């Protein structure tokens, strides 16, 4: 086979960015910048991963424990409405009003306006995901004027360069502005809570602070430009960037949390060319670890608008092309947004003081199924450690949550967080504090990082405390009813058994599945730490958990407790958790019950897809919340349901990508990172699956991709790296190696239409740290497809 992975990493859009939500983005992991503007004046908004506006109260979780028994009685009597009223009353006694207590929002650290001394004209915007660079190009009779942005990887710095073949002055204004996007108009507005103080010397800088007490949020310092002077109100400084004919002028902006001395210099990386060489070695290396080629129709000079238009019109080659581009740009976006901390709902980008959902870390799916979903399987597992950097500093808050809400020992993690770990964001309509899955889910992410990388140092004392805390909560926070442990009150994010009714219920399938999985995850962590003291305790908990249930309509029950009906008309599909990572043992094997559960899960996926397909538009339509498609797609891949997985992947690419190669929460609206991280995870799950002892190749390869394709750099549990997986109409080839440890056998399973050389779908293969290649043929009864090779 010839190498199909020659990458042209630059893409062009001609759509004007009239809102920050349409802007181009760059990110170092630590800082992000978004540039937009409808005229020659362009605004660059800068955010930092640690700069959240301290805007909201931070009360401890409400004291619900004293009302817990009565709450449980109401729930077990089927009275979710009454349980919701009890929750509200108990919360009121604790000082909570009816309004939600919001998390502190991701803030804007500074804005820089650039106004070139040229008339407006045709502009094209260019995105280079592999190099992490964006550019705006104005076509002028005398030559092109170009503005470039890059955020050097792992630094607190943004670089701006302006190039022109003619002399040009660019007006500069450094301050603290921001826009309001369509998707954020309903969110709390925080503009009145911040103020800016700007100085012109010794270096131009702006400090963003709270009006209430002057707490400094961030300081941004500029090097470059000249003639800097403060505005009369001292909330901004203005200057000029002079571009010589045929030359380039540069600006360096450094943003640091809190208040910094104005003379602090940005890191000296040299000129623009040196910065870009470093960027290729850092950001570029991370992005290049995994590449996807599906034989999509790549046309020289075609804009993203034109590519997506052909794909939406049904062109098969164009549909493959948008998946390729979405895989590349989605991974680049997620990498650019991951630094010491994981991506927020908006990654590390902010352009408004009214961000949707505070642009926080939403832990009931957005972070795990969205922002970080592809980090481990697509070759960058070390970046997933950022989740633990977010969670582990707040262990005391989790202990207090468990005690105050459930009267339990151990730890209860909140469903939303940014600056603390207190479970105080809830209401009777959104009883997030009854969702108990965040802790076990974090253990799964940690276990997968350890399994993939072999890095036992991850299992330090803090992570082990979390593992113990999750177990202790399972032992003391569940209700023991006739020897069975029940999650009551419970909450299946963010659904209710009856549309419009109370979401307070019991035995949410997701919660039970996560507890079962936490036992398996803890075993991986225990082996790395050499401490198996929790094993027997977890076994006793799992033995007492209720079994999964198939609902009367043949779907997988979202609530194991049979008193709660199914409600398929919802964006979440949380009860499919048993299929997202290592498939739950209850769903494996040839037993009648395992087969029944798999069939029920498949029916569930088809129901959710059919519901969305009735109106696949943004709300009030049903194409809401991109990561719900990720939940469906990854589960479908685990079941070998390639058509359903493909439907989800294509919906993500077609409906949740913008011309700027950013992504949206709903179809075409609300700037959001979930699809960026989620789509590559779905694609990876279609091509490779794994557990601790086996690797599945092609678990869900769709007919539309069978004629030709290749992917590099996928990672699997057990430390397996699939350096390259390629296929065409004649067969396939997989090159595997073990990232760490001695050579050892691994069970390799192969999905249709391929088979192993010995025939059959599975065999033991010894894999060591040196690459080994497996050549696959077509399964018996399969024939080479008549489709032409898309390479021509």
Q: How far apart are CA 51 and CA 10, in angstroms?
A: 31
Say if CB 20 and CB 179 are below 8 A apart. Answer: yes
Under DSSP, the state recorded for 459 is S
Say if CB 298 and CB 12 are below 8 A apart. Answer: no
pLDDT digits 0-9 by tens, 577-592: 999 999 999 999 999 9
pLDDT computed for residue 326 by the predictor: 98
Burial (CB count within 10 angstroms: exposed 0-12, middle 13-18, buried 19+), residue 300: exposed
Extended beta strands in 534-632, E state: none
pLDDT computed for residue 194 by the predictor: 94
- What residues pair up with 102 in beta bridges, in sequence order? none
Say if CB 747 and CB 764 are below 8 A apart. Answer: yes
CA quadruple 597, 599, 605, 610: dihedral positive or negative? negative
Q: How far apart are CA 149 and CA 147, in angstroms?
A: 7
pLDDT computed for residue 744 by the predictor: 85
Instruction: Provide the token pair at 386.
Output: 């950022």
Q: How far apart are CA 134 and CA 155, in angstroms?
A: 17
CA quadruple 100, 103, 109, 111: dihedral positive or negative? negative
Q: How far apart are CA 182 and CA 792, in angstroms?
A: 43
CA quadruple 663, 570, 373, 55: dihedral positive or negative? positive
Q: How far apart are CA 652 and CA 624, in angstroms?
A: 11
pLDDT computed for residue 120 by the predictor: 76
Q: How far apart are CA 565 and CA 169, in angstroms?
A: 66
What count of other Cβ atoms lies within 10 Å of the Cβ of residue 214?
A: 11
CA quadruple 467, 470, 474, 477: dihedral positive or negative? positive
Comparing CA positions, the residue from 133, 671, 677, 46 lying closest to residue 387 is 677
pLDDT computed for residue 122 by the predictor: 82
What count of other Cβ atoms lies within 10 Å of the Cβ of residue 69?
A: 11
pLDDT digits 0-9 by tens, 68-89: 999 999 999 999 999 999 999 9
Q: Can you say how many angstroms the Cα of residue 59 is from the centroid of all Cα atoms in its chain?
A: 28
pLDDT digits 0-9 by tens, 196-236: 999 998 889 999 999 988 899 999 999 999 999 999 999 99
Comparing CA positions, the residue from 354, 390, 377 lying closest to residue 49 is 390
Say if CB 198 and CB 236 are below 8 A apart. Answer: yes
Bin 429: left if φ > 0, else alpha if -120 < ψ < 50, else beta: alpha
pLDDT computed for residue 111 by the predictor: 98
Under DSSP, the state recorded for 620 is T
User: If one looks up domain 11-53+106-290 in CATH, what number appears?
Assistant: 2.70.98.50
Q: Can you say how many angstroms the Cα of residue 371 is from the centroid of all Cα atoms in its chain?
A: 1
Q: Determine what percent of the chain falls in helix, strand and coil, rounding each to the nearest 5.
A: 35, 25, 45
pLDDT computed for residue 92 by the predictor: 95
Say if CB 738 and CB 745 are below 8 A apart. Answer: no
Give the domain ranges of the chain: 11-53+106-290, 60-100+380-546, 703-778
Check: CATH 1.50.10.10 for 60-100+380-546? yes
SS3 634: helix
pLDDT computed for residue 99 by the predictor: 83
Report the DSSP pairing between strands 143-150 and 24-27. unpaired
Say if CB 323 and CB 653 are below 8 A apart. Answer: yes
Q: How far apart are CA 181 and CA 352, in angstroms?
A: 7
- What residues pair up with 163 in beta bridges, in sequence order? 146, 248
CA quadruple 333, 383, 582, 345: dihedral positive or negative? negative
Spell out the SS3 assignment of 208-257.
EEECCCCCEEEEEEEECCEEEEECCCCCCEEEEEEECCCEEEEEEEEEEE
Q: How far apart are CA 751 and CA 633, in angstroms?
A: 17
Q: How far apart are CA 617 and CA 24, in angstroms?
A: 24
Q: Where are the alpha helices (DSSP H) in 31-97?
A: 68-76, 80-93
pLDDT computed for residue 186 by the predictor: 65
Give the position of tokens 């002079």. 242
**Helix or strand run (H / E) with residue 626:** helix 626-638
Q: How far apart are CA 310 and CA 314, in angstroms?
A: 7
Say if CB 539 and CB 519 are below 8 A apart. Answer: yes
Q: How far apart are CA 5 and CA 522, in angstroms?
A: 38
Comparing CA positions, the residue from 566, 690, 107 lying closest to residue 352 is 107
What count of other Cβ atoms lies within 10 Å of the Cβ of residue 283?
A: 27
Q: How far apart are CA 278 and CA 269, in angstroms?
A: 8
**Residue stretches of the chain with pLDDT short of 50:** 1-8, 182-183, 783-792
pLDDT computed for residue 379 by the predictor: 98
Instruction: Provide the token pair at 378.
Output: 């697509």
What count of other Cβ atoms lies within 10 Å of the Cβ of residue 4?
A: 18
Bin 283: left if φ > 0, else alpha if -120 < ψ < 50, else beta: alpha
Burial (CB count within 10 angstroms: exposed 0-12, middle 13-18, buried 19+), residue 217: buried
CA angle, corner 372, sides to 148 and 36, nearest 5?
A: 25
């Amino acid at each position: 086979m010839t190498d199909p992975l020659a990458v042209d990493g630059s893409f062009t859009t001609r759509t004007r960015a009239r809102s920050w939500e349409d802007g181009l983005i760059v990110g170092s992991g630590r800082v992000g910048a978004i540039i937009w503007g409808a005229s020659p004046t362009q605004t660059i908004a800068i955010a930092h991963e640690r700069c959240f506006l301290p805007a909201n109260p931070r009360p401890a979780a409400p004291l619900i424990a004293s009302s817990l028994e009565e709450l449980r009685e109401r729930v077990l009597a089927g009275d979710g409405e009454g349980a919701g009223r009890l929750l509200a009353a108990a919360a009121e006694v604790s000082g909570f009003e009816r309004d939600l207590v919001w998390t502190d929002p991701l803030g804007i650290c500074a804005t820089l306006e650039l106004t070139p001394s040229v008339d407006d004209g045709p502009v094209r915007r260019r995105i280079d995901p592999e190099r992490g660079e964006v550019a705006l190009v104005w076509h002028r009779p005398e030559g092109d004027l170009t503005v470039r942005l890059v955020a050097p990887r792992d630094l607190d710095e943004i670089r701006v360069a302006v190039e022109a073949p003619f002399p040009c002055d660019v007006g500069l204004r450094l301050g603290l502005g921001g826009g309001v996007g369509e998707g954020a108009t309903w969110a709390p507005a925080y503009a009145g809570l911040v103020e800016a103080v700007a100085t012109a010397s010794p270096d131009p800088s702006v400090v963003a602070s709270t009006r209430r007490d002057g707490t400094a949020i961030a300081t941004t310092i500029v090097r470059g430009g000249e003639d800097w002077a403060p505005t009369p109100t001292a909330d901004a400084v203005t200057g000029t960037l002079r571009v010589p004919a045929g030359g380039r002028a540069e600006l360096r902006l450094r943003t640091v949390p809190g208040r910094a001395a104005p003379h602090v210099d940005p890191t000296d990386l040299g000129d623009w060319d040196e910065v870009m060489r470093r960027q290729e070695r850092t950001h570029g290396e991370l992005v290049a670890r995994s590449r996807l080629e599906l034989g999509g129709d790549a046309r020289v000079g075609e804009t993203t608008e034109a590519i997506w238009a052909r794909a939406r019109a049904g062109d098969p080659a164009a549909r493959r092309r948008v998946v390729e581009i979405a895989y590349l740009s989605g991974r680049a976006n997620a990498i650019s947004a991951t630094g010491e901390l994981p991506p927020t709902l908006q990654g590390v980008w902010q352009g408004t003081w009214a961000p949707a959902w505070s642009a926080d870390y939403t832990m009931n799916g957005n972070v795990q199924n969205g922002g970080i979903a592809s980090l481990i399987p697509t070759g960058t597992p070390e970046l997933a450690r950022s989740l633990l950097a977010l969670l582990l500093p707040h262990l005391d808050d989790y202990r207090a949550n468990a005690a105050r809400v459930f009267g339990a020992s151990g730890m209860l993690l909140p469903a939303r967080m940014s600056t603390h770990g207190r479970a105080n964001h809830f209401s009777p309509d959104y009883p997030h504090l009854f969702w108990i899955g965040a802790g076990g889910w974090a253990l799964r992410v940690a276990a997968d990082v350890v399994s993939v990388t072999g890095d036992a140092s991850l299992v330090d004392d803090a992570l082990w405390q979390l593992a113990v805390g999750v177990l202790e909560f399972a032992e003391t926070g569940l209700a023991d009813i006739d020897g069975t442990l029940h999650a009551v009150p419970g909450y299946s994010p963010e659904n209710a058994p009856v549309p419009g009714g109370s979401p307070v219920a019991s035995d949410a399938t997701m919660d039970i599945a996560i507890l079962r999985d936490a036992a398996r995850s803890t075993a991986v962590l225990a082996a790395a730490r050499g401490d198996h003291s929790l094993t027997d305790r977890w076994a006793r908990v799992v033995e007492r958990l209720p079994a999964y249930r198939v609902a009367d309509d043949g779907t997988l029950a979202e609530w194991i407790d049979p008193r709660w009906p199914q409600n398929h008309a919802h964006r979440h599909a949380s009860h499919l958790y048993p299929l997202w990572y290592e498939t739950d043992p209850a769903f494996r094997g040839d037993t009648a019950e395992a087969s029944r559960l798999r069939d029920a899960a498949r029916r569930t996926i088809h129901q959710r897809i059919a519901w969305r397909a009735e109106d696949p538009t943004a709300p009030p339509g049903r194409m809401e919340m991109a990561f719900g498609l990720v939940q469906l797609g990854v589960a479908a891949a685990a079941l070998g349901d390639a058509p359903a997985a493909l439907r989800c992947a294509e919906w993500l690419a077609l409906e949740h990508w913008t011309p700027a190669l950013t992504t949206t929460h709903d179809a075409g609206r609300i700037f959001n990172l979930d699809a960026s991280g989620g789509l590559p995870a779905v694609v990876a799950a279609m091509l490779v699956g794994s557990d601790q002892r086996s690797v599945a190749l092609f678990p869900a390869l769709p007919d539309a991709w069978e004629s030709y394709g290749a992917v590099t750099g996928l990672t699997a549990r057990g430390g397996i790296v699939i350096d390259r997986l390629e296929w065409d109409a004649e067969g396939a080839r997989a090159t595997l190696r073990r990232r760490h440890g001695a050579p050892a056998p691994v069970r390799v399973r192969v999905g249709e239409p391929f088979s192993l050389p010995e025939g059959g779908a599975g065999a033991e293969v010894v894999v060591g740290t040196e690459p080994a290649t497996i050549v696959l043929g077509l399964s018996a009864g399969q024939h080479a497809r008549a489709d032409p090779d898309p390479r021509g």
